[in-house]
Chain A
Amino acid sequence: MTLLRLDGVRRHFGANQVLRGFDLDVAEHDVVCLIGASGSGKSTLLRCVNLLDTVDDGTIWFDGRDITDPRVDPDDVRREIGMVFQAYNLFPHLSALDNVTLAPRRLLGQARAEAEAAARVLLDRFGLAEKASAHPDSLSGGQQQRVALVRALAMRPRLLLLDEITSALDPELVGEVLDAIRELKAEGMTILMATHELAFAREVADRVVFLDGGRVLEEGPPAAVLDAPTHDRTATFLRRVVSASSGQDPDTR
Chain B
Amino acid sequence: MASPSVASDWTPSEVQLERLDWRRRQARRRSTIALTSTVVVLGVAAVVVVSSPGWDRVQETFFDWGEAKAAAPEILDGFWTTVQMFLLAEACILAVGLLVAFVRVVPAAGLAPLKLLAIVYTDVARGTPTLLVVYLIGFGLPALQLQGIPNSLFVLGVIALTFSYGGYVAEVMRAGIESVHPSQWASGRSLGLSYGQTLRLVVMPQALRRMLPPLINDFASLQKDTALVAAIGVFEAFRAAQQESARNFDYTPFVVAAVGYIALTIPVARLTDWLALRAVRREQGATA
Contacts and interface: CB of A to CB of B under 8 A. Distances in A.
B26 A70 contact: yes
Contact of B2 (A10, A59, A68, A217): A217
Chain A interface size, as a band, is 20 to 34
A56 interface: yes
Interface in B1-29: 1-2, 4, 6-7, 10, 12-13, 15-16, 19, 22-23, 26
A237 to B, nearest CB: 14
Interface string A207-230: 000001111010000000000000
Contact of A215 (B2, B22, B286, B287): B2
Interface residues of B, number: 17
Contacts of A14: 286
B13 A70 contact: no
Contact of B287 (A13, A71, A213): A13
A71 B22 contact: yes
A69 interface: yes
A212 B19 contact: no
Nearest to A53: B287
A53 B288 CA distance: 10
B13 A8 contact: yes
Given A56-B16, A57-B13, A58-B13, A70 B23 contact: yes
Nearest to A17: B7
Given A17-B7, A213-B2, A214-B2, A69 B288 contact: no
A20 interface: yes
Interface string A3-44: 000001010011001001100000000000000000000000
Nearest to B7: A20
Contact of B286 (A13, A53, A57): A13
Chain A interface mostly: strand
Contacts of A214: 2, 7
B10 A10 contact: yes
Contacts of A70: 19, 22-23, 26
Given A14-B286, A70-B26, A71-B22, A20 B6 contact: yes
Nearest to A8: B13
Interface in A49-95: 53, 56-59, 68-71
Nearest to A47: B287
Contacts of B12: 56-57
B229 to A, nearest CB: 42
A191 B194 CA distance: 48
A214 B16 CA distance: 19
Contacts of A56: 12, 16
B15 A59 contact: yes
Given A20-B2, A20-B7, A217-B2, A69 B19 contact: yes
Contacts of A59: 15
Contacts of A53: 287
B157 to A, nearest CB: 42
13 contacts: A8-B13, A13-B286, A17-B10, A21-B10, A53-B287, A56-B16, A57-B10, A57-B12, A58-B13, A70-B19, A212-B2, A214-B2, A215-B1
Interface of A: 8, 10, 13-14, 17, 20-21, 53, 56-59, 68-71, 212-215, 217
Interface of B: 1-2, 4, 6-7, 10, 12-13, 15-16, 19, 22-23, 26, 286-288
